Amino acid sequence: MRKEFLSYNPPSIGDGERLEVQETLQTPWVTTGPKTVAFEAALKGYLEAPAVVALNSCTAGLHVALVALGVGPGDEVIVPAMTFCATANVVEHVGARPILVDVCPDTLTISPEAVRAAITPRTKVLLPVHYAGHPVQLDELDELAERHGLAILEDAAHAISTRYKGRLIGSRPNLAAFSFYATKNLTTVEGGCLTGEQSLIDKSRIIGHHGMNRDAWKRFDRSGSWYYEVVLPGFKYNMTDMQSAIGLVQLKRIEAFQKRRREVVARYEAGLKDLAALELPVERPWAESSWHLYVVRLQPGALRIGRNDFIEELKNRNIGTSVHYLPVHMHPFYRDKYGYRPEDNPVAADSYGRMLSLPLHAGLSDEDVDDVIQAVRELVFSNLA
């Protein structure tokens, strides 16, 4: 058994990030300024995006996007039940109703069939989530959106470097929101961005910065002017140069991060694929996952212990894990407000009860991964039903 606890997903922060932050502290700009402009340009190039605005979270990106798309009271937004609560919360924030639908049994991404059945005359936006880094079936959603005159807003919190049929998530003209939270494949500690066509990003930039028509660094720079106007009631969602300094270095390391994640996934696959008691994550032939999460599910009735005990036993063996996620329709707020029952989205509910996420990050050594595999195998073989 391991002597030291293996954290589930710590950030990979190195000397390069620390030096970039120190350099930023020595400049006149620590809030939104030239480093953020540079980070946006670097993201635009990496993601092959039409345009980018950096924000203080993916949640901010989703909120701003819904405002930019004109979503409000009386509207419906279709959201997968298997996602972090923020995906649905932002719909509530604009006064619309999140319509929670089920997911595909293999990838746990939104089910196009469930989306099709949920569309009504009040539907305005489809909000799919690239769960765990696996892309959703965008062609099917595009067809539905075109037929019914709907917008698509992608929750790409897990999806930096994800590709759908060879094309990077974030490269399309529709809006897509990314997360750079501490546990993500690329981190700015807190932060995120929104990609999409230039006109939508220009509008989103204003919405995300108080509704002001000029950024502070443009006003206070030597060549700038103090004058600005508020053109709409916006929010305080801008990213700082401190965050962007970290992001600029992280973006240079992202390919190395992704290479290591794929190596870890391959090692897990080789070490666990013979265990009939486990359902391992999949990658469809047309997909290139970012492998943000490695979610395994216990097969029903295969073991004498359940998911919660499995997690505790791994913790006793110094292996950290997590669960992604309690389905949105099972949270008290959504359950009580809309009368949802677990069986309303059966794939999400069933998967939640038997899923756990194994450690997956670029800092894992082969020995770390082997320790996880050994602990999982020991637990499975000692608890077979």
**Rounded to whole angstroms, how far apart are CA atoms 41 and 111?**
34
- Name the catalytic one among 35, 44, 124, 184: 184
Q: What is the dihedral of CA 184, 188, 190, 195, to 10 degrees?
A: -80
Closest CA relative to residue 23, chosen from 249, 256, 253, 252: 249
**Rounded to whole angstroms, how far apart are CA atoms 161 and 122?**
33
Catalytic (active site) residue 184: yes
Is 141 within 8 Å of 165 (Cβ atoms)? Answer: no
Q: Which two tokens stand for residue 204?
A: 């989103």
How many residues belong to the chain? Answer: 385
**Rounded to whole angstroms, how far apart are CA atoms 10 and 122?**
42
Catalytic residues: 184
